[in-house]
Amino acid sequence: MIQLDAAPTLESLRPRLEHLFELSAAKIHALAQAWEPSQGAPVITVEGRYTSRAWTEWTQGFQFGSALLQFDATGEPWFLAYGRKNTLQVMPPHLTHFGVHDHGFNNVSTYGNLWRLVREGKSSAGEFERECCELALKVSGAVQAARWSFLRDGRGYIYSFNGPHSLFADTLRSLRSLALAHRLGHVLWGESDQRIPLLERLIHHASVTAEYAVFYGEARDHYDVRGRVAHESIFNVNDGLYRCPGTQQGYSPFTTWTRGLAWIMLGFAEQLEFLATVSDNELAPVGGRSEIEGWMLRAAEATADYYLEQSPSDGIPYWDTAAPNLAKLGEYLNRPSDPHNEYEPVDSSAAAVAAQSKMTLLLENEPACNIGTGKELGRLVRDINSPALRAMWDPANAVVLDEIPYPDGYKHVRGLFPHLHVKDAKRDPSTGKTRWLPVGSGDVDFRGQFQALLRDEYRGTISLETHYRRPDGNSLESSRESLEGLLKVLKSVA
């Protein structure tokens, strides 16, 4: 099992990260010099050299997308030029490839990264190239959504290259192509000009994956262990009913291929993040926010727990959780993985995928620490500029340092926080001391704050943090007073 208490710090990883990009640069250059595009996509290695693989060219986007990421990390212009040229010249056939389930891998990795670099001002490409990338992403999302098998209950799924009966766990990551196309305002048109919302297909595919590819320990079959994942789910295309689990890359349908497990972990984490940008009105026709986020979070948590339990202490799993020779490795889950063992291979790519589904760290403004005000909190989060770090806004803590929480502090953290702490305080300017009070009784303009959250369509969470204590010290009644104050404020806003 992963030993979380031994997690490295970012600073301790810095030399390794720098070495990683040195190695990556050399390998991207070497592959660019040795690989002939007419050979197709480099998929696997044979005796240390890349070769193509007949089933699909699902790694072509990685070949050129990795160069764009290398540029993003190092600023070396050759990588941008190489990635851009090959995206525009080699990748177009992938945009209209109706025979695969990997648009999120190939096209988001290339056109998506080019589009992002232009929007972030890191590429000097003009408006026309940005629009070309947007058009490519729209086309890709619609083409991927058109590869569709229906279920009896009206839902359906994007079927794998294995055929209309087959749903792969890894296809969950291709939902990114549907999400981007939807966000860009695109729809799929079907027979008789039927408008098919891409968001609807995204939600339906994700729900079918959560229901059939992920297990929850509910005695579905003898192999139903919470968090286990079947790489492939098989359906009867004649009646639209589920038949059985399957696999193309795991040891068996009743064991868990760890890279498929990682795809599920990351796929649901990405979609939960995407849903935060979608309005309640858009989600209402496909079940509503509460229901959708509920089953997505359930699948994400179950698979993440299973990954933690089934990985060696360093977090790098073996290729399948029930690979036949694992028993010969003894207590392999209680020590770091051994890539040189003679029995079963490890899967470092599964670890890399799983790592991307990491949790987001929230930094609270706390007057006893270095970051105490909204201004300080907003500046730090913007300077670090990482999706892995967001703010946790506590207006009352800002009062302690004599900042006016709303509107002054809020303007610095607006749009940066997914969680809000609610308590109230009053500062005595003559003594500099702060008293904690029931919500609505102190210096925080909570009515103005909540009105601003409504205007800004805040989609995060709120928690009541009771620092206030009544003179009699009764914690329960103190919390009750604060809750009543909060409800009173909310009622005045509504």
Average the pLDDT over 419-439 and give the result: 92
Is there a contact between 80 and 89 (Cβ–Cβ < 8 Å)? no
Q: Within this chain, do residues 189 and 81 fall inside the same structural domain, yes or no?
A: no
- What whole-number distance in Å separates Cα of residue 251 and Cα of residue 194? 42
Average the pLDDT over 231-249 and give the result: 96
Residue with the bigger pLDDT between 355 and 205: it is 205
Q: What is the pLDDT of residues 18-27, one digit of tens each?
A: 898 999 999 9
Beta bridge mates, 166? 234
Q: Within this chain, do residues 489 and 438 fall inside the same structural domain, yes or no?
A: yes
Q: Within this chain, do residues 155 and 303 fall inside the same structural domain, yes or no?
A: yes
Percent over 70 (pLDDT), the chain? 96
- Asked if the structure places residue 5 within a domain, the reply is no
Average the pLDDT over 333-350 and give the result: 92
Indicate the average pLDDT of the chain: 91
Query: How far is CA 68 from each of CA 22, 87, 175, 270, 494, rounded to the nearest angstrom?
Result: 15, 10, 21, 20, 47
Q: In the listed set 126, 146, 166, which residue is the last one of a domain according to the structure? A: 146
- Supply 195's token pair: 């408008």
Q: Within this chain, do residues 344 and 203 fall inside the same structural domain, yes or no?
A: yes
Of the candidate ranges 187-191, 346-350, 387-391, the one whose mean pLDDT is the lowest: 387-391
Q: Within this chain, do residues 354 and 365 fall inside the same structural domain, yes or no?
A: no
- Asked if the structure places residue 152 within a domain, the reply is yes
Q: Within this chain, do residues 196 and 275 fall inside the same structural domain, yes or no?
A: yes
Split at pLDDT 50, 70, 90, the class of 2 is: low
Residue 44 lies in domain: 12-146
- What whole-number distance in Å separates Cα of residue 405 and Cα of residue 29? 52
- What whole-number distance in Å separates Cα of residue 339 and Cα of residue 316? 9
Q: Given this model, what pLDDT does residue 122 score? A: 92
Average the pLDDT over 258-287 and give the result: 93
Split at pLDDT 50, 70, 90, the class of 254 is: very high
Q: Within this chain, do residues 319 and 185 fall inside the same structural domain, yes or no?
A: yes
Average the pLDDT over 2-9 and give the result: 57
Q: Given this model, what pLDDT does residue 55 score? A: 65
- Asked if the structure places residue 482 within a domain, the reply is yes
- Asked if the structure places residue 1 within a domain, the reply is no
- What whole-number distance in Å separates Cα of residue 484 and Cα of residue 327? 58
Q: What angle do CA 268, 272, 320 make, to 5 degrees?
A: 15
Contact partners, residue 223, CB within 8 Å, separation at least 6:
215, 254, 255
Q: Given this model, what pLDDT does residue 9 score? A: 63
Q: Given this model, what pLDDT does residue 245 score? A: 96
Under DSSP, is residue 247 helix (H, G, I), strand (E, B) or coil?
coil
Split at pLDDT 50, 70, 90, the class of 431 is: confident
Q: Within this chain, do residues 136 and 189 fall inside the same structural domain, yes or no?
A: no
Q: Within this chain, do residues 293 and 349 fall inside the same structural domain, yes or no?
A: yes
- What whole-number distance in Å separates Cα of residue 401 and Cα of residue 432? 9
- What whole-number distance in Å separates Cα of residue 247 and Cα of residue 255? 9
Query: What's the pTM value of the predicted model, to 2 decimals?
Result: 0.75
Q: What is the pLDDT of residues 303-318, one digit of tens each?
A: 998 998 999 988 899 9
Cα torsion through 94, 99, 102, 106, rounded to 10: -10
Average the pLDDT over 426-448 and give the result: 93
CA neighbor of 300 nearest in space, from 334, 279, 328, 270: 270
Q: Given this model, what pLDDT does residue 8 score? A: 60
Is there a contact between 438 and 422 (Cβ–Cβ < 8 Å)? no
Q: Given this model, what pLDDT does residue 115 score? A: 96
- Asked if the structure places residue 429 within a domain, the reply is yes
What's the total number of domains in the chain?
3
Split at pLDDT 50, 70, 90, the class of 12 is: confident
- Supply 310's token pair: 């089934």
Q: Given this model, what pLDDT does residue 206 score? A: 98
Query: Has residue 211 got a pLDDT over 60?
Result: yes
Q: What is the pLDDT of residues 24-69, one digit of tens each?
A: 999 999 999 988 877 788 887 777 778 887 567 888 899 999 999 9
AA letter at 299: A
- Supply 480's token pair: 């009750």
Is there a contact between 161 and 138 (Cβ–Cβ < 8 Å)? no
DSSP assignments along 3-39, one per residue: -GGGPPPHHHHHHHHHHHHHHHHHHHHHHHHH--GGG
- What whole-number distance in Å separates Cα of residue 113 and Cα of residue 302? 30
- Supply 336's token pair: 């770091």
Average the pLDDT over 401-409 and give the result: 95
- Asked if the structure places residue 117 within a domain, the reply is yes
Q: Which residue has the tokens 């099992």?
A: 1
Average the pLDDT over 215-224 and give the result: 91
Is there a contact between 394 and 369 (Cβ–Cβ < 8 Å)? no
Residue 116 has phi, psi (to 5 degrees) of -65, -45
Q: What is the pLDDT of residues 289-300, one digit of tens each?
A: 999 999 999 999
Q: Given this model, what pLDDT does residue 4 score? A: 52
Q: Given this model, what pLDDT does residue 5 score? A: 52
Query: Has residue 282 got a pLDDT over 80?
Result: yes
Split at pLDDT 50, 70, 90, the class of 7 is: low
Q: Given this model, what pLDDT does residue 358 score? A: 67
Q: Within this chain, do residues 119 and 181 fall inside the same structural domain, yes or no?
A: no
Beta bridge mates, 189? 195
Helix (H) or strand (E) holding 194: none
Q: In the listed set 359, 375, 402, which residue is the last one of a domain according to the structure? A: 359
Return the CATH number at 348.
1.50.10.10
Q: Within this chain, do residues 243 and 390 fall inside the same structural domain, yes or no?
A: no
Q: Within this chain, do residues 453 and 441 fall inside the same structural domain, yes or no?
A: yes
Q: Given this model, what pLDDT does residue 384 score? A: 81
